Structure 1
């Protein structure tokens, strides 16, 4: 028997053309929700929505644009009558150590991962409060607890997103909205492929990666259970969250994890003379 669904919801998912967002959309529809998929890649998101059938609709959305956010909510209202749940999933990274990234690459990461998500949350606050209900689910990252080499600006945006999320949830504690933040670890998406190509991101391979469907399960479960915060994996994630409080400990432990990740990455790379 599958999970019990309280009632059908209309779910707006960002970054839904591929990866975690696509997995969230598919699972939500399987569980009888209706989903508006949004993504900056218009062709890919339209194709993805068509593949999911009549309970799916799609719109193009660059989450950096406040006008784009307004259009996305309007598209959801036109298709299904409004948004009950916003899943803020879209994000990017540019691989490399901080000194090697161009200023525009640092800005790209901040503008998408932090400012874009903030814009979406603020749009949802206004519209969901007006309708008297709503649930904002921000897909963040375990890097919001642990700063990692090769991810300095990415980690900064995730630290910032977690602080923003919880601050807003406290501000809105007497309102009609629910707030959940979910922290995936390394996940097998296009971003992980990007990291595989860059030795500076070796720490991503220190622990096992997760399939997007595993993260999607936590996101879609949260529509019903409405947890405040979810870490991955459940036990090790809690340990990492605590470890992130102690800078001296991090400076000792993270280089060890990075060395382990470097060895694991070398094992995963195609070997000369093979087709893998």
Structure 2
């Protein structure tokens, strides 16, 4: 079977109604791909797909539902053809000190961020392998390297997701699939608005946030280049990778990171906008 051209692939994006997912869908359509936007909020996903035109469609998907994943892949194939690229973007976050979060809040992050994405990967692998090609792109987080206060369960799911992604890539290294994992830092989405209202989430403001469009451009570029791993920002992200691997070092650095983040959060609350998210996904 002949492969579609690099500029015209069928892409399935999860969590695509808004934020990074919507920006990825827009960038992919702009690059000539056909995109199925999936989200648990079907109406919002449909509205975003409608804005993107005929090369986009929407489908309701709760990524915790294995049957839903099968239906989503079938819907993409019926609309555009077999899925060439899966972008695992959907995720949830509840910040706060671990002892103050309910078991239900911990469980929700594990079930969506980790188990939901694992279910998608397990759905994609046999389908893509049978066709002889496929690319699985996982949107993870810089918190997969950094154990940060206020983010223990969220960071735990991202640490687990990174380990899972790379282990699966190794298991499938002799097959026809490509695997890429991408680690955005603080991004101007609704999650950042949530973090602004939580004093335990001050580390999110220790660096300048990127826009969804910046992340999306990097994601769509990986469709062509297929790197193993991408961090944000490129240089500082590598430093954070190293720091996070040394518990003694991160314990020394966290008070400085918190102090910087607290100053910026206080400034934003005092003089800045009430919303930091960029609903347009613009740069």
TM normalised by structure 1 equals 0.96
> What is the correspondence of 1:1-276 to structure 2 with a 5 Å cutoff?
6-270=6-270
What CA distance in whole angstroms lies between the structure 1 residues aligned with 2:7 and 2:196?
41
What CA distance in whole angstroms lies between the structure 1 residues aligned with 2:67 and 2:41?
17
Secondary structure, aligned partner of 1:269: helix
Q: CA deviation at 1:207?
A: 0.5
Q: CA deviation at 1:131?
A: 1.3
What CA distance in whole angstroms lies between the structure 1 residues aligned with 2:249 and 2:132?
45
Secondary structure, aligned partner of 1:109: helix
Secondary structure, aligned partner of 1:161: helix
Query: CA distance change for structure 1 residues 53 and 174 in 2, over 3 Å: closer, same or farther?
Result: same
User: Do the aligned residues in 1 keep the contact of 2:64 with 2:111 (CA within 8 Å)?
Assistant: yes
Secondary structure, aligned partner of 2:17: coil
What CA distance in whole angstroms lies between the structure 1 residues aligned with 2:154 and 2:190?
16
Q: CA deviation at 1:275?
A: 8.5
What CA distance in whole angstroms lies between the structure 2 residues aligned with 1:271 and 1:160?
38
Secondary structure, aligned partner of 2:263: helix
What CA distance in whole angstroms lies between the structure 2 residues aligned with 1:253 and 1:270?
26
Q: CA deviation at 1:130?
A: 1.4
Query: CA distance change for structure 1 residues 149 and 26 in 2, over 3 Å: closer, same or farther?
Result: same
Q: CA deviation at 1:6?
A: 2.9
What CA distance in whole angstroms lies between the structure 2 residues aligned with 1:167 and 1:157?
15
Root-mean-square deviation over aligned CA pairs? 1.4
User: Do the aligned residues in 1 keep the contact of 2:87 with 2:137 (CA within 8 Å)?
Assistant: yes
Unaligned runs of 5+ in 1: none
User: Do the aligned residues in 1 keep the contact of 2:95 with 2:154 (CA within 8 Å)?
Assistant: no
What CA distance in whole angstroms lies between the structure 1 residues aligned with 2:258 and 2:62?
33
What CA distance in whole angstroms lies between the structure 1 residues aligned with 2:76 and 2:6?
21
Number of residue pairs aligned between Structure 1 and Structure 2: 271
Secondary structure, aligned partner of 1:117: helix
User: Do the aligned residues in 1 keep the contact of 2:7 with 2:31 (CA within 8 Å)?
Assistant: no
What CA distance in whole angstroms lies between the structure 1 residues aligned with 2:255 and 2:271?
25
Q: CA deviation at 1:271?
A: 5.3
Q: CA deviation at 1:270?
A: 4.3
Query: CA distance change for structure 1 residues 81 and 275 in 2, over 3 Å: closer, same or farther?
Result: closer
Unaligned runs of 5+ in 2: 276-283
Q: CA deviation at 1:139?
A: 0.3
